[in-house]
Amino acid sequence: MDYILNFENLDKDFLPLVGGKNANLGEMIKADIRVPPGFAVTTDSYKCFINSSEVSKKIFKILSSFDTKSVDSLNKASTEIQDLVNSAPIPKEVEDSVREGYAKLCQRCSVEILPVAVRSSATAEDLPAASFAGQQDTYLWVQGEDKIIQDVRRCWASLFTARAIDYRIKNNFPHERVLISVGIQEMVNSRTAGVMFTLNPTNGDESKIVIEGNWGLGETVVSGSVNPDKFVVDKVVLETTERAIAKKHIKCVYDPVREEVVNIDVEEDMQNKCCLNTQEITELAKIANNIESLYGRAMDIEWAIDDDLFYPENIFVVQARPETVWSRKKKGPVIGKKSGHQLLMEQAMKRIKISY
């Protein structure tokens, strides 16, 4: 049984054991894409936990006895299960593995108590992601073994949010078939972070990479709580063909006093300042190109730029997943099948409108 697995040992074949997110991180590390180190708490860990101390029995008893037609009843069942998951004892072998994995990660990064991100990683890739909203749990800047154990439990518990339970019932998806893995990844001390797409999400143009970023952690960009800076980069020549610098009011940072990540106001003089330099934009675009060719499809990528490191060692990819909106659309021809003569004749007839 592998209770934990280091990212660098993963690839897409590990998906049932570590979920999509973690498997992707492994694939990218294998392709020399800079990903912060970490490890996956496998579905075996989850299975081991759930099958011990009769946790699963209790869970399925609650699930089979609540009134599926009543929202109140559903919410109550969900709360009960989550409390159970958050409090039931974790088998020693699982807990020891996670603690040991973290200790090794700290050692590897030469930090006594390494801040990490704890993220759930779903295995049910064949179901629409949105329906598993509960599985998108992410805990940032988690420090210390105990806190990590606690957040691993929270990720496991996220399988039983009211929404997730409801969805499975409506889609006749057996509760016991759903498994979950958790990723534990070194936290990037990000100066700037955000997302990028390997196509232009505005119009589906596949010749562009669109990068959006803000100061601090990427959460403000992912959640849409700030207007990010936006850069459109040509995939072939890596030129920035469009840049829009937004007024960035807030940023997400770690607050050492409250020991959690918080949104704070951006300093006045930084609000209108571009959050990426030209070099970083080009490097991000190159990384996006690599990831796209690695997967052979349009991708949606989360990245971060570390404040403590120097270019290019400071640029990290923290997540990558397939782009779904435009990739599903069938695109017809833009110009159609035309000969050089036809195109030239059309050009000769053109007039450029001038408006002022």
Partner 1 sequence: MADEKAARFPDPHEYQIPPELEGWEEMYPSHYLFSKERGEWESNQFWYQDKIHAPEPMPPLDLIFQEAWQISLSQYTTRVFCIPPAQGIAQRMVGCYMYICAIAPPPEEIIREKAGLFEKRVFYVFEHYDELWEKWLTKFRALGEEMKSVEIPGKMPRYVPEDQVLPAPKGYYISYDIIEAFDKLVNMMFKGWQYHFEMLNLTYLAYLMFGDVSRNLFPGISESSIGKMVAGAYVSMFRPEEELCQLSRLASSMRGVSDIIKSDVSVKQKIAELNSIPDGKRWLEEFDKAKDPWFSVSCGSGWFHHEGSWITNLDIPYGYIKSYVERLEKGEKIERSLDELDKERDRTVAKYRELIKNDEDLKSFNDAHKTVRTIYRYAEDHLFWVEHWFHTIWFDKIRAFGRLMVDNGMLNETDDIFMFNRYEIPEILTELATGWALGVDIPLRSDYYKAKAQKRREILQAASEWSPTPALGIPPEEVAEPFTIMLWGVTTDKVKEWLKGVGEGRVEGMKEIKGFASSAGIIEGKARVLKKLKDIVEIQTGDILVCPTTNPSWAPVFTKIKAAVTDIGGLTSHAAIVCREYGIPSVTGTGISTSVIKTGDMIKVDGDTGVVTIVKKAV
User: In 3D, which of 207, 205, 213 has the Cα closest to residue 238?
Assistant: 207
In angstroms, give the least distance from the CB of 356 to partner 1.
Answer: 5
Q: Cis link prior to 36 (omega < 30° from 0)?
A: no
CB nearer to partner 1: give 30 or 243.
Answer: 243
User: In 3D, which of 153, 141, 168, 175 has the Cα closest to residue 62?
Assistant: 175
- 316 CB-near residues (< 8 Å, 6+ apart): 34, 35, 36, 188, 303, 304, 305, 306
278 lies in the site for partner 1, by CB under 8 A: yes
Applying CB under 8 A, which of residues 226, 232, 275, 291 lies at the interface with partner 1?
Answer: 232
Asked whether 75 and 162 are in contact (CB, 8 A), the reply is yes
Q: What are phi and psi of 114, to 5 degrees?
A: -75, 125
Give the side-chain half-sphere CA count within 13 A for 27. Answer: 22
117 lies in the site for partner 1, by CB under 8 A: no
Token readout for 218 is 């990427």
**Which of these ranges, 23-31, 166-174, 264-272, 334-342, lies near partner 1 under the rule CB under 8 A?**
334-342
**Which of these ranges, 182-190, 215-223, 235-243, 299-307, lies near partner 1 under the rule CB under 8 A?**
235-243
CB nearer to partner 1: give 15 or 298.
Answer: 298
Please give the residues from 304 up to 333 whose contact with partner 1 meets the rule CB under 8 A: 331-333
In angstroms, give the least distance from the CB of 213 to partner 1.
Answer: 17
**Which of these ranges, 51-59, 69-77, 83-91, 200-208, lies near partner 1 under the rule CB under 8 A?**
200-208
Q: What stretch of H or E contains 41?
A: strand 38-41
Applying CB under 8 A, which of residues 56, 206, 250, 327 lies at the interface with partner 1?
Answer: 206
DSSP-assigned letter for residue 266: P
* 260-265 vs 250-255, strand pairing mode: antiparallel
CB nearer to partner 1: give 130 or 343.
Answer: 343
Tell me how far apart the alpha carbons of residues 6 and 22 are, in angstroms, rounded to a whole number. Answer: 9
Distances (CA, A) of 111 to 103, 115, 144, 339: 10, 9, 11, 63
In angstroms, give the least distance from the CB of 304 to partner 1.
Answer: 23
Applying CB under 8 A, which of residues 83, 242, 267, 313 lies at the interface with partner 1?
Answer: 242
Applying CB under 8 A, which of residues 32, 112, 203, 269 lies at the interface with partner 1?
Answer: 203
235 lies in the site for partner 1, by CB under 8 A: yes
**Which of these ranges, 8-16, 28-36, 171-179, 346-354, lies near partner 1 under the rule CB under 8 A?**
346-354
CB nearer to partner 1: give 107 or 202.
Answer: 202
**Which of these ranges, 34-42, 44-52, 168-176, 348-356, lies near partner 1 under the rule CB under 8 A?**
348-356
Applying CB under 8 A, which of residues 237, 257, 296, 328 lies at the interface with partner 1?
Answer: 237
Q: What stretch of H or E contains 349?
A: helix 340-349
Applying CB under 8 A, which of residues 241, 259, 297, 324 lies at the interface with partner 1?
Answer: 241
347 lies in the site for partner 1, by CB under 8 A: yes
CA torsion, ordered 6, 222, 33, 294, to nearest 10 deg: 100
Handedness of CA 209, 214, 219, 221 (dihedral sign): negative
With vertex at residue 257, the alpha carbon angle to CA 252 and CA 263, rounded to the nearest 5 degrees, is 15
In angstroms, give the least distance from the CB of 333 to partner 1.
Answer: 4
69 lies in the site for partner 1, by CB under 8 A: no
22 lies in the site for partner 1, by CB under 8 A: no
Q: Which residues bind partner 1 (CB under 8 A)?
A: 200, 203, 205-208, 232, 234-237, 239-243, 278, 331-341, 343-356
